[in-house]
Structure 1
Amino acid sequence: MFLRRRLTVAVIGLTAITLAATACSQSPPAGGPVTDTLVVYSGQSGDYQQNLNPYSPSVNEGPGTIFEPLFFFNLTSRDAPPVPLLGTRYAWNGDGTELSITLRDNVKWSDGQPFTAKDVVFTFDMVRGNPSMNNTGFQGETTAVDDRTVTVRFPAPAYMEEPQVLGKLFIVPEHLWKSIPSPANDVIAKPVGTGPYVLEDFKPQAFTLKANPSYWGGEPAVKKVRYLSLSGNQAGADALQAGTIDWQTSPVPDVKNTERIYPGYRALVSNINQITLFSCSNTQLGCQGPQTDPAVRKAIYYAINRGQLNALAFQGTAGDISPGLALPDRDRDIVSGRLRERIAPANPEVGKSGQLLTGAGYAKGADGIYAKDGKPLALTVKVVAGWTDYITAVDTMAQQLQQAGIKLTPQQVSYNEWADARGRGQYELLIDSLTPGPAPDPFYVFSYFFSTATTAPVGQTANPNFSRFSDPAVDNALAELKKIAPSNQAARQPHYETIQTALESAMPCIPVLTNGTVNVYNAKEFTGWPSKEDMYAFPAVWQRPDQAQVFKRLKPAGA
């Protein structure tokens, strides 16, 4: 289920804009009805493959919109209380080993069956029993006290499980899922959920969600949400210009002048997701290639010109990144003072890069490329076709690394091929983002992407420790953090320091920049969008379950 930079897929084709023009919202005629269909574009490319399984790494949609968690946690704010969804109250016992949850009454599945505590127990037990679905490492024992109360008991204090269990485990209907032979692999083509939307239709070019008329929170004002497939970021910008999409999360040209270029639209940029070069790093789990050497990974880290990269690929919207992978701004009190560098260098340090390679047994050849045992230091980096910002980024890095004696070859592939290679570890490098988890705490980035519990041997699906990183010291620090209440920062900091220094030393994900997530939205046709003054959810079409909070908050203008 874990969420990446973009989690839905799109298709390449000249018919895309035509489809948008016939299916999307347009300005209503004077005195005519307001539109109640929101058309969204995530910026991805490649045919939609119908997958509505909220626990699949390649899910198209569903978490939050069709399948709900118990509560919603706002990862943009440390002060925002959890929003009750299928749950209404929860409490820990005195030592943090048992979580008691009260469930909402009078909730029905979209097929009319009642939602009960048995559905929660079934879901939690299913996740615990399927490693490829269990990307949080959940080990709780769940019991139904009655139809409206469940308890989750952990073998040790588990305070950090709170937003994961309550906010990232999407509840599924026992009466349907209990007969699925392999729930981790089933695409759930006809989903039944409790959420504000249900699936109306699904085609390779686009799919549509429609409002759930029996939703416990009331039928949403936005009656339909249509996910379009386009050929990439430029096609998205063209659709904005034509007024045929309402919400796009992907780069647009000259984003600082959005309101002038796209009348009626506004832009919002947020810096939370961390751009890295994922490496298949662990030879013990089957990774192969020069990127398995930490010296090579760190040499790449020092060879990158981040200032140039930000200007050329990201219009200056990206931010600094720390080699310990805690956010420099949001997590400033957590960023370790033991790091060699608190912030990744903005300018390349080619000399340091070369020293690392020489120390690892590489020598520069006559062609300027380092080599070892007769093999040039050459790597491929996978990037999704149509992701113009990332394509520009890897093309730019290829030129930068060439100057440092490293040959980097970008390889554009479809989203489906990219996601499959990432999950199975069948790549050398690929560009992606570390997403922040369910709450504003770096613990979740660390536990999702760098815990031994969330990885797998090459050929098997990891979710989401795609780099195959494994370090007993990091695993132990994560286990200790679970035992300490988040309010006790002094006791937590030594464990954060252990993790950050280990990640800086091993660098399984090579830090690039903190991504400036660009949203352009139709303020003329819809009201209720997140803003810097009211960031009630992280604004991104592909961020789940935040997107459902946005859909529920929006209203057609004039309605």
Structure 2
Amino acid sequence: MSTDTAASVDGPLKQLTIATSFAIGDLDPLENGFWAPEFGFGALLMKPVAGGKLTPWLLESPPSRTSPTRWALRLKPNLTFQNGKPLDAAALAAAMTFSLAENSSVKPLLPGATVTVSGPRTVTVTTGKPTSYVPSLLAHESMFPIFDYATYQPLKGKDAELIAAKIWSGPYTVTGLTPEAMTLVPTPGYAVSTPKLEKLSVRFVPDAHARILAVQNGEADLALYPPTSAAKELQGRSDAVYLHQAPGTAAEGFQLLLNLRSGPIADVAVRRAVSHAIDYGQLATQVMNGLYDPAVGFYPAFLPYALRNQTFGAAEANRILDAAGWVRGGDGMRAKDGKPLAFTLLSYPQQPDSKTVAVAVQAQLRTAGFAVEVRQVDDVTAAVKSPTGWDAAVMGNGAIDWTQTDPVTPVIANFTPGGDNNYGGVDEPELTRLAGQLTETFDPTARDTLMRRVQQIVVEEKVLSLYLTLKRVPVVAAPKLRGYAVPPVALLWVDAY
């Protein structure tokens, strides 16, 4: 755990139990590697820190751009995997090459890239074209997990053997993994830093109230993904405290995914009406009890290139629908050519606030004549990966990447054909062209100009996706962790800063 957190409790914190809603099924790098840095059993080459910056983690220094398409990465000395095998240039090149070939998150972002050994602790990454966001990819939990590929490859699919093989590179080593919990201990001789905890446990508790109750009963120290309603419920109590990031700093929240291939949502006029019929201020201040930041556009307002072009206007929503031929019936609902203005909106239980937001959006859209059905699904990602069977979804996401240093890769992932998160079927030639320009743009001023054009297309002209409200990431903590500072950037809950 972080030094700051350890210093905020009565005496050194020796044991920590975290209750989370998302279960970790195995330690396979492709399937669950993104959890590794969050819970301490993995480390990344670079680390995201507050202020939109990156700092070396496993690397000795920041990546060095030696030519328009080449980056030199030099590891810290004396690194090993948890099984004792050396984490050297050859091992690093093997892990990164595997990700470039097999990881669907990184493949579309670095097409044609290669990694070669250029020294005992140095590798060279060669990209197919100049690529501005390479440093951010090295700090992103979903891109380049650092693990012992040589040991992993023959054990792929053998869950118990992968645990015993200790293939990871973090300060804490997994000793047990069941459907209920994961147990970890300090990695002996860890060269990057000294682990602060003697024992770490991560419990998988699907029910939000059960996670909070575990903290209140002394069975857990931190409960992740609590509903906003918990803030009021825990006021004045001495057995748990609701904590969150500072106001005005929220960089992620609930995105309204729109399936452009489905029903009325396929009509851009309908999407424009949806954007104006949603009261974003009400969602943040009333529905979420002032514990969320209002969404003013596709990007958080504190970013220099963010446009405030996402506005509530009931009259404008009604004007658009009237002009498009959607007629109100006696019940106030609209229809056109005998077809109702209706769609289904998905939410999911792992983020309990998603249903609260979905129900509020349902009510707001009803005033404009939309008939919205809210449907909760157990696996929202699996649902939206299908091109059919869904119309819209409220989904936790961020418009800037996980590291909060790169706005480019989310444009590629969300809005270009083949993008990893292009669930809605977006295929806009100008956006694809802009994504290519952004990839090769290193100058911040030029990048910001391109980003503003992206927002005009996404929010105003085509309404391809919207942000509903921005979450100040919350956690429920035990009294001894009352001074816990929620990670300001990525959700690095263990050994974060």
Change (3 A) 1:115 1:518: same
What do residues 480-516 of structure 1 show as CA deviations (whole Å, max 9, x unaligned)? 223232xx33322321122111111222222211222
Instruction: State the 1:316 CA deviation.
Output: 0.8
Aligned pairs (5 A) from 1:82-161 = 82-93=54-65, 95-130=67-102, 132-134=104-106, 137-139=109-111, 140-161=113-134
Q: In 2, are the aligned partners of 1:53 and 1:187 still within 8 Å (CA)?
A: no
Q: In 1, are the aligned partners of 2:185 and 2:200 still within 8 Å (CA)?
A: yes
What do residues 90-144 of structure 1 show as CA deviations (whole Å, max 9, x unaligned)? 4434653211111122222122221121222222222222362426612322110
- The DSSP-based 3-state class of the residue aligned with 1:40 is strand
- The DSSP-based 3-state class of the residue aligned with 2:183 is strand
Counterpart CA distance in 2 for 1:90 and 1:516 is 29
Change (3 A) 1:89 1:516: closer
Instruction: State the 1:407 CA deviation.
Output: 1.0
Q: In 1, are the aligned partners of 2:95 and 2:146 still within 8 Å (CA)?
A: yes
Change (3 A) 1:452 1:182: farther
**Match in the other structure for 1:403:** 367
Which of 425, 428, 445 matches 2:391?
428
Change (3 A) 1:313 1:549: farther
Instruction: State the 1:204 CA deviation.
Output: 2.0
Counterpart CA distance in 2 for 1:399 and 1:304 is 9
**Match in the other structure for 2:6:** none
What do residues 58-77 of structure 1 show as CA deviations (whole Å, max 9, x unaligned)? 66832452232211122x41
- The DSSP-based 3-state class of the residue aligned with 1:524 is helix
Counterpart CA distance in 1 for 2:423 and 2:161 is 21
Supply the AA of the counterpart residue of 2:390. Y
**Match in the other structure for 2:208:** 233
Which of 465, 468, 491 matches 2:446?
491
What do residues 440-494 of structure 1 show as CA deviations (whole Å, max 9, x unaligned)? 343343233223342xxxxxxxx33333323222222222223232xx3332232
- The DSSP-based 3-state class of the residue aligned with 1:328 is coil
**Match in the other structure for 1:394:** 358
Change (3 A) 1:189 1:422: farther
Q: In 1, are the aligned partners of 2:75 and 2:121 still within 8 Å (CA)?
A: yes
What do residues 185-236 of structure 1 show as CA deviations (whole Å, max 9, x unaligned)? 9996666201112222222222223322232234512233322233433333
Change (3 A) 1:94 1:70: closer
Counterpart CA distance in 1 for 2:241 and 2:436 is 46
Q: In 2, are the aligned partners of 1:54 and 1:61 still within 8 Å (CA)?
A: no
Counterpart CA distance in 2 for 1:510 and 1:85 is 34
Change (3 A) 1:186 1:276: farther
**Match in the other structure for 2:471:** 515
Change (3 A) 1:99 1:386: closer
Change (3 A) 1:247 1:364: same
Matched, 1:50 2:21: no
**Match in the other structure for 1:468:** 425
Counterpart CA distance in 2 for 1:526 and 1:222 is 18
**Match in the other structure for 1:460:** none
- Aligned residues: percent identity? 19
Instruction: State the 1:297 CA deviation.
Output: 2.3
Report the TM-score when normalising by structure 2: 0.85
**Match in the other structure for 1:448:** 413
What do residues 10-47 of structure 1 show as CA deviations (whole Å, max 9, x unaligned)? xxxxxxxxxxxxxxxxxx9x9xx9762212133x37xx
Counterpart CA distance in 2 for 1:365 and 1:394 is 24
Counterpart CA distance in 2 for 1:294 and 1:480 is 26
RMSD between aligned residues = 3.2
- For structure 2, the 5+ residue unaligned runs are 1-8
Q: In 1, are the aligned partners of 2:215 and 2:239 still within 8 Å (CA)?
A: no
Name the stretch that deviates more: 169-178 or 306-315.
306-315
Counterpart CA distance in 1 for 2:296 and 2:157 is 40
Counterpart CA distance in 1 for 2:435 and 2:157 is 30
Aligned pairs (5 A) from 1:173-322 = 173-179=148-154, 192-249=167-224, 250-253=226-229, 255=231, 260-262=236-238, 265=241, 267-270=243-246, 271-281=250-260, 283=261, 288-322=262-296
Count of aligned positions: 476
- For structure 1, the 5+ residue unaligned runs are 1-27, 337-341, 455-462, 532-536, 554-559
What do residues 149-196 of structure 1 show as CA deviations (whole Å, max 9, x unaligned)? 10111232222222113544212212123446799x999666620111
Q: In 1, are the aligned partners of 2:239 and 2:479 still within 8 Å (CA)?
A: no
Report the TM-score when normalising by structure 1: 0.76
Q: In 2, are the aligned partners of 1:55 and 1:133 still within 8 Å (CA)?
A: no
Q: In 2, are the aligned partners of 1:192 and 1:198 still within 8 Å (CA)?
A: no
